[in-house]
Chains A and B, each alone.
Chain A
Amino acid sequence: MAEPILKVTDLKKVYDDKPAVDGISFEVEKGEIFGILGPNGAGKTTTLEMIETLREIDGGSVTIDGIDVASSPVKIKQIIGVQPQTPAFQDKQKLGEIIEMFAAAYGERVNVKEFLDDVQLGEKTNAFAEQLSGGQRQRLSIATALVHSPKVFFLDEPTTGLDPQARRNLWELIKMVRDRGVTVIMTTHYLDEAELLCDRVAIMDSGKIIALDTPQNLIKQLLKRGFKKEVKVEQANLDDVFIDLTGKALRD
């Protein structure tokens, strides 16, 4: 097996003597979509932020592509792309300029239109950021995180607050990014999203990883333990009804 692209060993973060992340370890393979699930306050975002160089690491170590995060944050920044929980952009700035700006932050000059086309915003190159809908802002943010062809792409709860069409569209985008060879690591608290998108998931609670496997294996293990749902699963749910009635196509 190839060397894992991300290696987290005994990672710790302490806030006011309370462990927010309590010695977690996991590895992510190249080309995976890896999900970190858990209730609010489980330590998902803190874990992600330590890996992204945004928070100091209190204990343990993280390496991405063999580079140590704590000792070489600048090198790490060159190979990661980050999607924050609520992407925001400065007003009075055109979409094309935002792409230009993020590319420039890496010292790069890119074909702006191409990156906006990738996220279906090509026609809005000259629109201002403040005119975008929530879903469009998420897509623009994805484009800004890919300008420097990162090896690993982090998303923090990307679909929170989006309507079903925008969510489905974002899933397609995330798969597209993965198909280009970028490893994707995302947090979410939507379980359907994790089941559909992620190759493997880690479930966190109170700063610890309590389960780590493929979604299918986790479900199998649960069933083996004799678990039974009380209500028989419907062949379709309300989500499917909604999409059937309003269409799958993206609306802005």
Chain B
Amino acid sequence: MHHIRKQLFTVAVFTKLSTRRFFRDTLALFFGILFPLIFLFVFGALSGNDNVTFTVALLNNSKTAYAHNFAHQLGHEKTFKIDKDAGDLSQAKEKISRGQLDGIIVLPPDFGAVQAGQSHPSGTAQVLYNKSSSGTGETLTSVLQGSFRAANAKYVTTQLPFSVQGKELNQKNLTKFDYTFAGLLGFSIIGMGIFGPVNVFPELKKQGILRRLRTTPIKTWQYFLATMFSQALTGLVAIAAQFAVALTVFHLKVAGNYFEIIAFTILSIFMILGLGLAIGGWAKNERQAAPLSNIIVFPMLFLSGTFFPRFGMPTWLQHVTNYLPLTPVIDGLRLLTTEGKHLTDLGPQLAIIGVWFVVIYAVAFRVFRWE
């Protein structure tokens, strides 16, 4: 017990000193905090506050007043551009096959009717989309779910025996900026987590600083843990700065819970940092570290939704890139931040991060060299 406490004391002091060093280092501050902010300004200005719009056909087969209202309202929403020419299913299907439509929304005959024994209208809208653009279809579905959620809250919440008071969810739809923002958060996690250790470790080895530490009883896990904690602290500061800019300049509306966002961010920082520890810990010098880190980082930057939303990619590519380490990080951050999801909804993302975490650290421990 005493022994463990001593070892954790070592971790605590190393964490403190390494964090302090970061905030004294102008170069680290620039690349860790200012650089992602510059990206945020550039990409934020590019994507502005424009809504992502979906061109859809709306086939209303229901005669209920509710369905009529819903169709009318959908026509006024910025997210949807309704194609009036597609009057029936076959026309709509043909247009979708020609790529003129993103999807078809079908309201079945009983949509909006009050079912027996219930006091409120209900119904299930269908979203039809092409297999080749399943990403767009899924996004469309989730956007539609967002607007139903608001409606559901109005009808149902107060009647449920165990529910808390119904909280109105964000009525704002997903904007391009929402996608961009989550991607940029991912970018800054990558920047600090991978390029940090990859640049620093070979230098520490060259100067014999790690070698000198090795003559002390400090263990690799203690050194890793201190690096992880310190990275989480500095990373959270960087992420907080981006939130501050996004909230004030780009009118980001955070629908989720900040504690969940912080918890998820820390987990993501730990996992991604593992890649940096593995590369930097393995490399004997910069000449080994630089190419390897580029091979690992660049595909992720382009394929994990950092700068380009993934829903525009072909389906097969989406399936493959789903499993890159950075993808669940960016998806998870977006779901928590702008879509109002909770950690309990992020099963797939947490599972992928968890598996990568174990794999990456197993490798990092194995390949770490003190000199």
Contacts and interface: CB of A to CB of B under 8 A. Distances in A.
Contact of B21 (A52, A85, A93, A107): A93
Nearest to B371: A54
Nearest to B25: A92
Contacts of A86: 207-208
Nearest to B219: A74
A129 to B, nearest CB: 10
Given A90-B209, A107-B6, A77 B17 contact: no
B199 interface: no
A102 B216 contact: yes
Interface stretch (B7-15, B143-151, B268-276, B292-300): B7-15
Most buried by A among B204, B212, B216: B216
A76 B350 CA distance: 42
B217 interface: yes
A91 B217 CA distance: 23
Contacts of A190: none
B9 A90 contact: no
B119 interface: no
Contacts of B209: 88-90
Interface string B1-37: 0000011011011100100110011000000000000
A105 B21 contact: no
A101 B217 contact: no
B319 interface: no
Interface in A65-101: 74, 77-78, 80, 82, 84-93, 97, 100-101
Most chain B Cβ neighbours within 10 Å, of A87, A88, A105, A148: A105
Nearest to A145: B215
A219 to B, nearest CB: 34
B211 interface: yes
Contacts of B6: 107
B218 interface: yes
B153 interface: no
A26 interface: no
Contact of A88 (B24, B207, B214, B217): B207
Interface in B92-114: none
Interface string A128-157: 000000000000000000001000000000
A104 interface: yes
Given A90-B209, A92-B21, A82 B215 contact: yes
Contact of A97 (B9, B20, B216): B20
A88 B14 CA distance: 17
Interface in B242-261: none
Contacts of B13: 100-101, 104
B38 interface: no
Given A104-B10, A106-B217, A107-B7, A84 B20 contact: no
A88 B213 CA distance: 11
A243 B185 CA distance: 61
Interface in B308-367: none
A9 interface: no
Interface residues of B, number: 24
A25 interface: no
Interface string B138-158: 000000000000000000000
Most A CB contacts (10 A, CB to CB) among B7, B9, B24, B212 go to B212
A53 interface: yes
B216 A88 contact: no
Contact of B208 (A88, A101, A104, A106): A88
A52 B209 CA distance: 16
B208 A54 contact: no
B9 A105 contact: no
Nearest to B22: A92
A100 B215 CA distance: 16
A82 B217 CA distance: 12
Contacts of A93: 17, 21
A94 B324 CA distance: 40
B215 A54 contact: yes
Contacts of B212: 82, 84, 87-88
A227 to B, nearest CB: 40
A77 B216 CA distance: 5
Contacts of B20: 97
Nearest to B10: A104
Contacts of A87: 212
Contacts of A90: 21, 204, 209
Nearest to A147: B216
B217 A105 contact: yes
Interface in B62-112: none
B215 A52 contact: yes
Contacts of A84: 208, 211-212
Contacts of A105: 10, 14, 213, 216-218
Interface of A: 52-54, 74, 77-78, 80, 82, 84-93, 97, 100-102, 104-107, 109, 148
Question: What 4 pairs between A and B have smallest CB-CB spacing?
Answer: A107-B6, A104-B13, A88-B207, A105-B216
Given A82-B212, A85-B208, A91-B21, 19 more contacts: A77-B215, A77-B217, A78-B217, A84-B212, A86-B207, A86-B208, A87-B212, A88-B207, A88-B209, A89-B209, A92-B21, A92-B25, A93-B17, A93-B21, A97-B20, A100-B13, A104-B10, A105-B10, A107-B9
25 contacts: A77-B215, A82-B215, A84-B211, A84-B212, A85-B208, A86-B207, A86-B208, A87-B212, A88-B207, A88-B209, A88-B212, A90-B21, A92-B21, A92-B24, A97-B20, A100-B17, A101-B13, A104-B9, A104-B12, A105-B14, A105-B213, A106-B217, A107-B217, A109-B9, A148-B216
